[in-house]
Homo-oligomer: A and B are copies of this chain.
Amino acid sequence: MTRKSQPQRSRSYDSEEHERGACEWCEYALVITLATILLIGVSALTIFWTFFYREGYGWADDIPEKQFNLHPTLMIAGFITFSGFSVLLYRICRCFRRIYVKLLHAIFHALAFPCIVIGFLAVLDFHNKKGINNFYSLHSWIGFVAMGLFGLQYAVGFFSFLLLLICNKGTANFRASLVPIHAAFGVLTFVLGVCACLTGLTEKALFTLGADRYSGLPDEGVIINAIGVAIIAILAVVMYILSRNKFRADARDMRASVDL
């Protein structure tokens, strides 16, 4: 991969269209639509589950369970819906200028950030109110690592790809070398978020329904499993989209566009 000496500021307008057939556009539209439906659907399903089976949300001392309900909803919104859209933005917004995609990427992560923080505080406070130990389960360990990576990635991304634009030319090489590392750790954070959600749903099903009721697969069990299956489907679609080189901007142009 060689780097051109001059940044191609107009690349997003002229380099995307060539050699892109109807079949590829069909596939692209299909998977992006599927990803969008799944990403919004999984949060909608979690909210439905909470209101229909778990009495909704709250932060009052008398019903701490309502406070706990914020935890799965906000974590799925933060780690799956907002982070999923944020990861896919680089494939969805192919005809945007790269700086706008970066800003949208930062904004989606900025939406995920308070979700994750409040979702974490909700379960921490719930545990303290109920006298339950913190950070004992595999779910909590995975979630802790995922939150740590998310914070680190956000700080690195904000500092490197937005703040360092103040010194555009001087930091171009540094920023270009960070791109693959930030992308790889970003995907890892997303996958860890998926793992945390799936183990969390398993815990919740066993704590709330108990093994006996869960094994009879009541309606609520099906809903919890369906949320898990939706998360798995999102993981599959996101991995598929990321693995398709045709969906990404041309590698050389991407490298050059770091200058923007």
Contacts and interface: CB of A to CB of B under 8 A. Distances in A.
A215 B194 CA distance: 23
A139 interface: yes
A195 B192 contact: no
What is the total number of copies of this protein in its complex?
2
A57 interface: no
Given A216-B133, A232-B145, A139 B192 contact: no
B141 A228 contact: yes
Contact of A202 (B139, B191, B236): B139
Give the size range of A's interface with the partner.
35 or more
B137 A202 contact: yes
A221 B136 contact: yes
Interface in A126-144: 132-133, 136-139, 141-142
Interface string A112-134: 00000000000000000000110
A167 interface: no
20 contacts: A136-B215, A137-B202, A137-B205, A137-B215, A137-B225, A138-B224, A138-B229, A139-B202, A141-B225, A142-B228, A183-B243, A188-B239, A191-B235, A191-B239, A195-B198, A198-B199, A199-B199, A199-B202, A202-B202, A206-B206
